[in-house]
Amino acid sequence: MALPIGNGFQWAVLDGRAGPGHTVVVQGPGQQGLACVVAAKAAGATTVIATGRARDRHRLAVARRVGADHTVMVDEESVAEIVHRVTNGALADLIIDVSSGGATQVVNGALALIRKRGTLIVAASERKAVDGFAIDTLIGQQIAPRGVRGHSFQAVEMALALMASRRVELELMSTHEFGLADVDYALRLVEGEFQDNAVHVTIAPWKHA
C-alpha cells in the first residue's frame, strides 16, 4: 500500500501542490485515484471531489470514507455543475486525471473545470495521441499541465507516516488478498474482467486457499 499511496502524495502534493484553501478534483476512483484523495486531504486541501462512473459506486463510497468531501458519478450527474456549485464558481485549483478511457473528452472536460492559473496533473496513459486537445483553453486560462509517473522516496516516506498514524481507514483500499494459486484470477480481477468491488489486490505467497 505504501507505493500507491506514495503515488498519491507525489502527484497531489509534491507535484500538484495541494494544500489548505485548495479545491482538488480527482478523476478516477481506482487505487491511484483514492490515494490522491487521501494525500490531498492529508495535506489540508479544503475540498476534495472524486469522480467516477455508476459502476464505481463502491469505490466512490470508499473515497468518501478516506477523505473526499463530494463524489460524482459522471454518467448520472454533471461534474461541471457540481464543481461550480461547490466552489461558488471559483472552480478547481488542481485536477488530477487518473481515469481510464476517453482521453480527449476527459482532459478537455477537466480544462473547463480549472480556475485561471490552476494545475492539471495527468497520470492516465492512453498510449496514443490525444486528438482535439483544447489548447486554446490551456493558453487562455494559463493552466499548468504536468504529466506524472511514479513516486519519490519523499512521497513514500509521507505515505508510510500516514499509514503509521492510523488517521485514515486505509484498510478500506486493500480489498482482496490471494495466494499464488489464484494469481490468474487476481490479474483478471484487476483488469476488470470480474466485478467484485476490487480496489487494491495483494498477492501473498504464504496464503493458502
pLDDT of residue 185: 86
Count other C-beta atoms under 10 Å from residue 191's C-beta: 8
Q: pLDDT tens digits, residue range 116-138? A: 999 999 987 666 667 778 889 99
What 3-state class would DSSP assign to 119? strand
Q: Report residue 56 as a C-alpha cell.
A: 464505481
| pLDDT at residue 4 tops 70 | yes
Who has greater pLDDT, 179 or 63? Answer: 63
Count other C-beta atoms under 10 Å from residue 12's C-beta: 31
Q: pLDDT tens digits, residue range 89-113? A: 999 999 999 987 556 777 888 999 9
- Work out the burial of residue 188: count CB atoms within 10 Å of its CB; fewer than 13 is exposed, 13-18 middle, 19 or more buried: exposed
Q: What is the CATH number of domain 2-147?
A: 3.40.50.720
DSSP label at 99?
-
Q: pLDDT tens digits, residue range 38-54? A: 999 999 999 999 999 99
- Delimit the domains of the chain by residue range: 2-147, 174-209
8 Å CB contact between 150 and 8 = no
pLDDT of residue 166: 93
Q: Which is it for strands 23-27 and 47-52: parallel, antiparallel or unpaired?
A: parallel
What type of residue sits at position 69? D
The dihedral sign for the CA sequence 122, 125, 129, 134: negative
In the chain, what percentage of residues exceed pLDDT 70? 95
CA distances from 89 to 20, 85, 93, 112, 141 (A): 18, 6, 12, 12, 15
Q: pLDDT tens digits, residue range 158-186? A: 999 999 999 999 888 888 888 888 888 88
Q: Report the distance separating Cα 101 and Cα 184, nearest Å.
A: 24
Q: Report residue 208 as a C-alpha cell.
A: 493458502
8 Å CB contact between 159 and 134 = no
pLDDT of residue 103: 65
User: What mean pLDDT do residues 13-33 have?
Assistant: 95
